[in-house]
Structure 1
Amino acid sequence: MENQKVFCISCFLKPYRIFKDKFPLLSFISFRLITMLVILFILGWALFALMALAPGDIVDQMMQQQLMSQTENGGGSGRDSIFSEEQLAKMREEMGLDKPFTIQYFRWLNRVLVHHDLGVSLISKAPVSFLIKSRIVNSLVLNLISLVFITIFSFLLGVYFSSKAGTKVDLAATFFALFFHAFPGILLLILLQLFASVTSLFPVTAYPDFPASENPLKFIFSYSYHIFLPLFASFLGGIGGTMRMIRSTMLDQMGMPYIMALRSRGISEKRVYLNHAFRNTLNPYITGSANLLASLFSGSLVLEIIFSYPGIGRLMYDAVMQQDVNLVLANNMFISALVLLGMTISDILLAIVDPRIRYGKN
């Protein structure tokens, strides 16, 4: 029996090794995509488990809202005056909440994968896919703009200050980078909002009060004006660590023997910096950019709440507070898929840039 198992495993591994040897990059990409799907599957199951462990459910939330509404209107109070135990049990059965969380998860997977249906919000009764589509674009625009600005200025400043290592300018830049990197993001957002409120130079909300379809050109200018302070806070929080990483990587490269060899051949310092040392800073940045994007998405939750920005983070916060299972799960899975996809893309870019990765062990 053991010989048969070993034979079956070897039958599977042999084609895989042949495929890996002939197509190393494609094999690397396939392995990363499969790993991403497995992680998403486990993450979804864990989310269902956490929601099941949370006290109460959406039916209890609805009952409490009805009780509060009846009390405010001067009606009687008491659980039996609104819902009976049979009615509550029937509501849980209709929503599928009477089943174990594992069964609920596989039912949700079947609905998503087979029918391409994310369900409806248990509170607003609107389709979950519509709610996510209406918010995800705003969060993507905000975080991608932050990532682009952080990337551009991190490379410019990191390369510049690496050439000024040890000078007063470099020490001052390092101090401010560490200061803003360690400064609490939520406190920075609150201070900026107070600044906007006191000075009236900027709006206290981060989104225009009219739709883009009304006047697209006016909306772009208004959006840029509204988003400036939140974007500035995100930029200050992200540039410190990234700039210091690029600066330290450049300094490490400038001390390598191949740099000394290039200088001994009379190659200009500009070419040494930009054509040789700079290219070798891409690997650590590509690896760190996925983590940076993940931190931007996680940080945008607080940003969207404080500045009333209609993004996916604020939608998820409202869904968690209301225990809207369908919306919470879809939000978390969607954001997790974006983060994992970013990490997978960074791994693929690393494999393209550095052949040693794709020819190495997965």
Structure 2
Amino acid sequence: MLQYIFRRMLSAIPFMFMVSLTVFILIQLPPGDFVDSYAASLSASGEVIDAATMADMRHRFGLDQNILMQYFQWMSGIILHGDFGYSFEWNSPVSALLWERMGLTLILSICTLMLTWMIALPIGIYSAVRRYSIGDYFFTLVGFVGLAVPQFLLALVMMFAGVKYFGIDVTGLFSQDYANAPWSWDRVVDLLKHLWIPMIILGTASSASLIRIMRANLIDQLYMPYVVTARAKGLSETKLLLKYPVRIALNPFVSSIGWILPNLISGAVITSIVLNLQTVGPQLYQSLLSQDIYLSGAILLLICLLTVVGMLISDILLVLLDPRIRFE
């Protein structure tokens, strides 16, 4: 097991190198740079910036160098010093802007993933065992609605319902008193009070998708010869269900960690903007608009790293869950 984990971690190093290079090239493909974007924003407000000042800003930010030199300096700072660069727009180190938002994003994503599993696993088992029943049809309808309704639209509906019928504001992860306060037990409690709304919104589509996956895979297993044989030998239905077919049908569930975890982060940008969440989604959107290459590159790189970590966790859990899967 340890050898397998070590080998997988080593194989992730060249992959992350290629991902980082691809990310850095992609975020520089749009025409212009941060200085051009900054000059355009000033021009829209009636101010004019001359060419000499723009050239001086490019030299100060290192934007007058070629793309490979910029990439080398960026990666060497990350590897040697843990420095993700300097945010042009915020005039601050990227690390100072990123870590608290990334921590809140991970908390929200992990809690949403746990909620998704808690909802999808029992409903998927019920729908497979009681297929074509009234309950199965009901959960199928709910699942299709969950897949069809965009997350940002569900967020808007819940915001309207919260203000109109309950008199509460469901936006943000903190109340005004704790938004910029230092971390304390009261701030943690305030976070937990505001966390459940975005968890429900972000977990709706994932739960609906995993319910259908669990239902389809379990139905395939329920009529396998080994299930019929075990039932004929007098094994109780609950023990038979949980010990064999559910365990095998869980494989797609476990493998979904690799794509659900980064998808919850990158796919919730519009929802985070609508709900005014203090996560990396709005920060990524704004940094891409302003061509703040080091901030947007750091966020995209961390999302890709989460994908690699999620796939590694999925592979390890699959080996532990299903003895038929071998490291080879």
* 2:156 pairs with 1:190: yes
Which residue pairs with 2:14 in the alignment? 38
Which residue pairs with 1:166 in the alignment? 132
CA shift in 2, pair 1:33/1:167, >3 Å: same
List alignment gaps of at least 5 residues for structure 2.
none
CA shift in 2, pair 1:276/1:357, >3 Å: closer
Shift of 1:149: 0.9
CA shift in 2, pair 1:83/1:206, >3 Å: same
**Mapping of 1:118-197 within 5 angstroms?**
118-197=84-163
* Distance in 1 between residues matched to 2:67 and 2:323, nearest whole Å: 44
Candidates 292, 295, 299, aligned match of 2:260: 292
* Distance in 2 between residues matched to 1:218 and 1:58, nearest whole Å: 39
CA shift in 2, pair 1:28/1:354, >3 Å: farther
* Distance in 2 between residues matched to 1:167 and 1:67, nearest whole Å: 63
Which residue pairs with 2:291 in the alignment? 323
CA shift in 2, pair 1:112/1:277, >3 Å: same
* Distance in 2 between residues matched to 1:359 and 1:214, nearest whole Å: 45
* 2:201 pairs with 1:233: yes
- Check conservation: 1:36, 1:344, Cα contact below 8 A: no
Which residue pairs with 1:247 in the alignment? 215
| Paired residue secondary structure (1:259) | helix
CA shift in 2, pair 1:150/1:201, >3 Å: farther
Shift of 1:359: 4.1
* Distance in 2 between residues matched to 1:216 and 1:26, nearest whole Å: 37
Which residue pairs with 2:300 in the alignment? 332
Shift of 1:65: 4.3
Shift of 1:306: 0.5
Which residue pairs with 1:49 in the alignment? 25
- Check conservation: 2:178, 2:190, Cα contact below 8 A: no
* Distance in 2 between residues matched to 1:172 and 1:279, nearest whole Å: 25
* Distance in 2 between residues matched to 1:262 and 1:356, nearest whole Å: 19
Which residue pairs with 1:8 in the alignment? none
* 2:50 pairs with 1:83: yes
Shift of 1:240: 0.8
* Distance in 1 between residues matched to 2:249 and 2:119, nearest whole Å: 14
AA aligned to 1:141 is I
- Check conservation: 2:28, 2:293, Cα contact below 8 A: no
* 2:76 pairs with 1:100: no
Shift of 1:62: 3.0
Percent of matched pairs sharing the same residue: 28
TM-score, normalised to structure 2, is 0.90
Which residue pairs with 1:63 in the alignment? 39
AA aligned to 1:325 is I
- Check conservation: 2:247, 2:321, Cα contact below 8 A: no
Aligned length: 326
Shift of 1:243: 1.4
AA aligned to 1:174 is T
Which residue pairs with 1:74 in the alignment? none
* Distance in 2 between residues matched to 1:119 and 1:30, nearest whole Å: 29
* Distance in 2 between residues matched to 1:307 and 1:297, nearest whole Å: 14
Shift of 1:269: 0.6
Q: CA RMSD, aligned part only?
A: 2.3
* Distance in 2 between residues matched to 1:300 and 1:248, nearest whole Å: 27
AA aligned to 2:37 is Q
Candidates 272, 285, 306, aligned match of 1:304: 272
* 2:232 pairs with 1:264: yes
AA aligned to 2:296 is V
* Distance in 2 between residues matched to 1:259 and 1:65, nearest whole Å: 66
AA aligned to 2:199 is L
* Distance in 2 between residues matched to 1:94 and 1:291, nearest whole Å: 39
* Distance in 2 between residues matched to 1:59 and 1:226, nearest whole Å: 38
Which residue pairs with 2:317 in the alignment? 349
Which residue pairs with 1:29 in the alignment? 5
List alignment gaps of at least 5 residues for structure 1.
1-24, 72-76
- Check conservation: 2:269, 2:285, Cα contact below 8 A: yes
CA shift in 2, pair 1:147/1:122, >3 Å: same
TM-score, normalised to structure 1, is 0.82
Shift of 1:180: 0.9
- Check conservation: 2:214, 2:253, Cα contact below 8 A: yes
| Paired residue secondary structure (2:244) | helix
